[in-house]
């Protein structure tokens, strides 16, 4: 198990590097992106050029319709306790979906059900107890949406980057409790990376400067409960 910490500006680059390494490894052929909705993470030209079997799964048929034609689309609720999919995958991954599921337990249990033994589960998500995400979790939805739109007017629901309710179940850095959750389900934790810092204070220079100081200090002396983002790479041990 590798536990690491880094600045949040590296999160998406590092996630992409690990993901593409997995996708291009010979033992991984069938892949499923969860919560892809209107915006699948990987473009069609990447999928086609690498000959990938690539499914995008989302709870919303409306959001899937917004995705470009050419993707294999599957409408399903990955947290449904009665989920029954015939397909099994070598890799299941998500990019900032985990915070939107009500039950992290159901989410990861169902992922395990659709993975082959030895298959990988890989997820990037924002984490509690970062202040912006605490506000998003506990403020009324209308208020948190209004605050978000002040900073990013493009996040309207009618577009391709709408805001959805967030619950942050099982969305923490590499705390002992969080790692126990995954291991109890039968996952082996291959890598767990916590990130510090965020860019939510860009319009508030004093807060931005303070946030950067805090992030620098946490990088020198990490506290897993204070990460802002994390990604976790899990391997399914169940048949």
pLDDT digits (tens, 9 = 90+) for 110-128: 999 999 999 999 999 999 9
Decide which of 137 and 13 is more confident.
Answer: 13
Per-residue pLDDT, averaged over 7-33, amounts to 97
Predicted pLDDT of residue 147: 56
For the cut 70, the answer to whether the pLDDT of residue 145 exceeds it is: no
Position 148 confidence tier, pLDDT thresholds 50, 70, 90: low
Backbone angles phi, psi at 198, to 5 degrees: -165, 175
CB 185, CB 121: distance < 8 Å? no
Predicted pLDDT of residue 129: 92
CA gap 1, 4 in Å, rounded:
10
Decide which of 84 and 145 is more confident.
Answer: 84
Predicted pLDDT of residue 163: 57
CA-closest candidate to residue 53, choices 39, 74, 67: 74
Per-residue pLDDT, averaged over 82-105, amounts to 97
How much of the chain exceeds pLDDT 70, in percent? 90
Backbone angles phi, psi at 184, to 5 degrees: -65, -35
Per residue in 154-165, pLDDT tens? 545 544 445 578
Burial 71-101, CB ≥16 within 10 A → b, else e: bebeeeebbeeeeeeeeebbbbbbbbbbbbb
For the cut 60, the answer to whether the pLDDT of residue 82 exceeds it is: yes
Predicted pLDDT of residue 161: 46
Per-residue pLDDT, averaged over 204-231, amounts to 96
What's the mean pLDDT when you consider all of the chain? 92
Domains present along the chain, CATH in parentheses: 2-236 (3.40.50.150)
Least confident stretch, 16-30, 127-141, 191-205: 127-141
Predicted pLDDT of residue 160: 41
């Amino acid at each position: 198990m590798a536990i690491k910490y880094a600045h949040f500006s590296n999160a998406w680059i590092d996630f992409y590097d690990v993901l593409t390494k997995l996708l291009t490894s010979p033992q991984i052929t069938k892949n499923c992106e969860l919560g892809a909705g209107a915006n699948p993470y990987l473009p069609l030209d990447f999928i086609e050029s690498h000959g990938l079997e690539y499914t995008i799964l989302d709870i919303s048929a409306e959001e899937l319709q917004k995705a470009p034609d050419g993707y294999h689309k599957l409408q399903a609720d990955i947290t449904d306790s009665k989920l029954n999919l015939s397909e099994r995958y070598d890799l299941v991954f998500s990019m900032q979906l985990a915070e939107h599921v009500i039950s992290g337990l159901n989410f990861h249990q169902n992922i395990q059900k659709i993975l082959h033994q030895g298959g990988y589960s890989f997820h990037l998500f924002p984490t509690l107890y970062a202040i912006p995400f605490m506000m998003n979790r506990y403020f009324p939805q209308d208020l948190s949406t209004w605050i978000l739109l002040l900073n990013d007017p493009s996040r309207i629901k009618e577009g391709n980057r709408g805001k959805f309710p967030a619950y942050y179940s099982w969305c923490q850095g590499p705390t002992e409790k969080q790692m126990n959750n995954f291991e109890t389900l039968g996952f082996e934790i291959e890598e767990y990376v916590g990130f510090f810092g965020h860019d939510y204070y860009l319009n508030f220079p004093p807060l931005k400067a303070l946030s950067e100081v805090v992030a620098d200090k946490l990088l020198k002396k990490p506290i897993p409960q204070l990460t802002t983002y994390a990604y976790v790479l899990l391997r399914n041990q169940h048949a």
